[in-house]
Amino acid sequence: TQLLEQSPQFLSIQEGENLTVYCNSSSVFSSLQWYRQEPGEGPVLLVTVVTGGEVKKLKRLTFQFGDARKDSSLHITAAQPGDTGLYLCAGRGYQKVTFGTGTKLQVIP
Amino acid sequence: GAGVSQSPRYKVAKRGQDVALRCDPISGHVSLFWYQQALGQGPEFLTYFQNEAQLDKSGLPSDRFFAERPEGSVSTLKIQRTQQEDSAVYLCASSLGKLQYQETQYFGPGTRLLVL
């Protein structure tokens, strides 16, 4: 069974702080996706990273795929209350999607 | 419709009751997934359809769970003889193609099932 462990599980920070969320696995994935989910809604895709070592930026969010394509990180600069939500990584293989354990982020104004 | 829709949004069932959860994917999407999500956790894969064919049902927890997509569009997840441990949010997602590894999955809002 492929497992994706996320850390930390919970994070409560003040507005304006920086944070990093980690997604780790012992398995290699073809790609790694990050989603954000708000209460009562389904996850929404933020980014897909494909190449080992790849870095993608989406405004204040920076995503990195590990060189061995087994791990990934999400860094948020100057967090805003609108960043609050459940962050999920998802590893993609052939006809298979494995979601991580989730990181619940709360940004306090 | 513009997105994936699911119905009902909330379902309360008595233990032992059968339930049916409906998913309307984005029109023309080939791939359809069902996931089970516990509170604050990541979704766990249940089953995958490519058009009407159920290609992977390895995540279904028991033989009480059954899914179908007879015409390759709308899908129904049925749970027979519900148990309290079945309480969760059931998410449906669709994607345009045949699960290429860069494809975007579009999720519905989920059905929250509570078994008393």
Residue of B nearest to A92 (CA): B101
**pLDDT at B101 (0 to 100):** 66
Q: Encode pLDDT of A5-63 as tens digits.
A: 999 999 999 999 999 999 999 888 888 999 999 999 999 999 999 889 999 999 999 99
Assess whether pLDDT exceeds 60 at residue B1. no
Assess whether pLDDT exceeds 60 at residue B21. yes
| B48 — pLDDT class (breaks 50, 70, 90) | very high
Assess whether pLDDT exceeds 80 at residue A2. no
Q: Which 32-91 residues of chain B touch chain A by CB within 8 A?
A: 33, 35, 40-45, 48, 55-56, 91
The HSE-up count of residue B67 (CA atoms within 13 Å, CB side) is 34
**pLDDT at B61 (0 to 100):** 93
Q: Which positions ≥6 away from A96 have C-beta within 8 Å?
A: A2, B45, B56, B99
